[in-house]
Amino acid sequence: MGRRTRATRSADGQLLARRVPYLPETGYGSAAAVGSFAPNGYGLYDMAGNVWEWTVDWYADGPAEDARCEEDSQDPAQPQFRIPRKVVKGGSFLCADSYCLRYRPAARRPQQVDTGMSHIGFRCVKR
């Protein structure tokens, strides 16, 4: 059986699931422009909500047998699924409260690689 853990909270101690501004009751029933809302307590913008974000990681139901963190690690070869899936993270404006109470950067879900939807996108990084 799993263990009970504390809910994910922001730097100021508030529950993250209750602070996502993209939910329909806030007036945002569609994707919002980047930076439309104030940054979180860490100074980061748009870390959860708005659109699910594609990652480069292949989805697997559990950790790899040789899972480890390396400075220059690369994703392993594509898993042998009938329909290949990548990891998407963050949740979207279409999420129901009962589904996206897990809004948090670490949450992940599988998505077929040939999917194109209005609520899946990319996180662009400016250096």
What are the residue ranges spanned by the domains of the chain?
A: 13-61+87-127
Cβ contact 24:31 at 8 Å: no
Q: pTM, whole model, 2 decimals?
A: 0.62
Q: List Cα–Cα distances, 4 to 1, 39, 52, 107, in angstroms.
A: 10, 29, 26, 17
Report the percentage of the chain scoring pLDDT > 90: 0
Checking DSSP bridges between strand 120-121 and strand 52-58, what pairing results, if any? parallel
Q: What is the pLDDT of residues 70-124, one digit of tens each?
A: 565 555 666 666 778 888 887 777 776 666 655 666 778 888 888 778 888 887 7
pLDDT at res. 103: 62
CA–CA gap between residue 127 and residue 106 (Å, rounded): 22
Higher pLDDT, 97 or 46: 46
CB < 8 Å & 24+ apart, contacts of 34-41: 40/10, 40/11, 41/10, 41/11, 41/12
Q: How confident is the model at residue 2 (pLDDT cuts 50, 70, 90)?
A: very low
